[in-house]
């Protein structure tokens, strides 16, 4: 033996004819024999492959992604949307409002219409002119303007508030119905004053109270949001930031004009007020036959009837 180690002889290769019915093992212990015994591979001529095959094993996933994208686009093509246009800031009662129905990818909207949900009928009412309940919404107009489907509400009021949507005239599923648009507006109606110590409730332009009695007035107003109330007295320098005004043991000096003011919490331009004239009567009132005769006939009959 020389300095170099003797080479270990290779194991004899199995003959290819020994097992004619069995395929040659893909992982043979005699790799050198497998390489030498294998038939030389013929190089294929270049050919055009499909777009999927060019990407190898990822071609299938790419094909599915493209098909899914096309399917989603096709499904969205008929899906409408509804929006509020030409409106800056909050909607105030009395404004003019315009809604628009849009179809995805600019498709034709001639087969679509607007609907409003009626809480009384508990159903959606079409606002096109051919609908049976169209007369209930006579103050709205649906029109087509240069391929655009528009809904115009002039002088909007509180009863116009609620959900609106855009839908196909031949809607069969939710894919042809838009999401709901909840149309709301800000408003502040007239102020009312009530007397908590009286059964008749609402107070008019004036109220009379006996001297020494207590007076409690309550201010209220119908508004989209709870208003801020305050009471002031004409000629006085005080302001009461409350909707309730209470005067204990009323005196003659407290007679005068009181005003309740209601303000919208976020829109200062929405302000209403109500003024009440307070009269204080003396509890010492003399009763005589002459005072009874001075009354009118109905009042005289009432006075005689009382014990």
Q: Mean pLDDT in each 10-residue stretch from start to end of the chain (307 residues)?
A: 48 48 46 43 51 55 57 54 88 93 75 88 82 65 86 90 88 77 94 85 88 93 95 92 93 94 95 94 61 43 46
Classify residue 294: in a domain, yes or no.
Answer: no
Domain that holds residue 143: 81-183
Q: Are residues 94 and 158 located together in one domain of the fold?
A: yes
Query: Which of 154, 183, 212 is where one domain is finished?
Result: 183
Q: How far apart are CA 244 and CA 228, in angstroms?
A: 12
| Contact (Cβ atoms closer than 8 angstroms) between residue 114 and residue 102 | no
Cβ density class 86-120: b for 16+ within 10 Å, e for less:
eeeeebbbeeebebbbbbeeeeebebbbbbbeeee
Does residue 298 fall inside a structural domain? no
18 domain-assigned: no
Q: Is residue 118 part of a domain?
A: yes
Look at residue 289 and give its three-state secondary structure: helix
Residue 33 lies in a domain: no
In a domain, 135, yes or no: yes
Distance between CA atoms of 83 and 289, rounded to whole angstroms? 76
Computed over its alpha carbons, how large is the radius of gyration of the chain? 45
Q: Has residue 216 been placed in a domain?
A: yes
pLDDT recorded at residue 134: 56
Provide the pLDDT for residue 19: 47
Domain count, the chain: 2
Please say whether the beta carbons of 271 and 263 come within 8 A.
yes
> CA 166 to CA 110: how far, in whole Å?
12
Classify burial at 281, counting beta carbons within 10 Å of its beta carbon; exposed 0-12, middle 13-18, buried 19 or more. middle
> Does 36 fall in a domain?
no
């Amino acid at each position: 033996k020389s300095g170099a180690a003797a080479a270990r002889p290779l194991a004899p290769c199995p003959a290819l004819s020994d097992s004619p019915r069995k395929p040659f093992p893909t992982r043979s212990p005699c790799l050198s024999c497998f390489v030498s015994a294998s038939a030389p591979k013929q190089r294929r001529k270049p050919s055009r492959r499909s777009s999927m095959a060019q990407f190898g094993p990822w071609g299938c996933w790419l094909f599915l992604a493209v098909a899914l994208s096309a399917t989603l686009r096709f499904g969205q093509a008929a899906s409408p949307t509804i929006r509020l246009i030409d409106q800056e800031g909050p909607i105030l009662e009395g404004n003019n409002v315009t809604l628009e129905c849009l179809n995805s990818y600019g498709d034709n909207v001639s087969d679509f219409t607007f609907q409003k949900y009626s809480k009384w009928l508990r159903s959606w009412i079409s606002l096109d002119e051919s609908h049976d309940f169209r007369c209930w919404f006579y103050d709205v107009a649906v029109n087509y303007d240069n391929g655009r489907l528009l809904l115009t509400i002039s002088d909007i009021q509180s009863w116009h508030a609620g959900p609106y949507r855009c839908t196909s005239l031949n809607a069969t599923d939710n894919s042809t119905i838009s999401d709901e648009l909840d149309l709301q507006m800000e408003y502040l109606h007239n102020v009312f004053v009530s007397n908590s110590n009286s059964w008749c409730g609402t107070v008019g332009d004036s109220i009379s109270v006996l001297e020494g009695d207590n007076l409690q007035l309550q201010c209220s107003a119908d508004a989209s949001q709870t208003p801020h109330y305050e009471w002031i007295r004409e000629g006085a320098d005080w302001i009461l930031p409350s909707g309730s005004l209470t005067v204990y043991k009323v005196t003659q000096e407290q007679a005068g004009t009181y005003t309740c003011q209601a303000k919208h919490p976020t829109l200062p331009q929405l302000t209403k007020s109500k003024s009440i004239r307070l009269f204080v009567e003396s509890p010492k009132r003399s009763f005589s036959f002459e005072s009874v005769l001075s009354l009118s006939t109905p009042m005289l009959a009432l006075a005689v009837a009382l014990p």
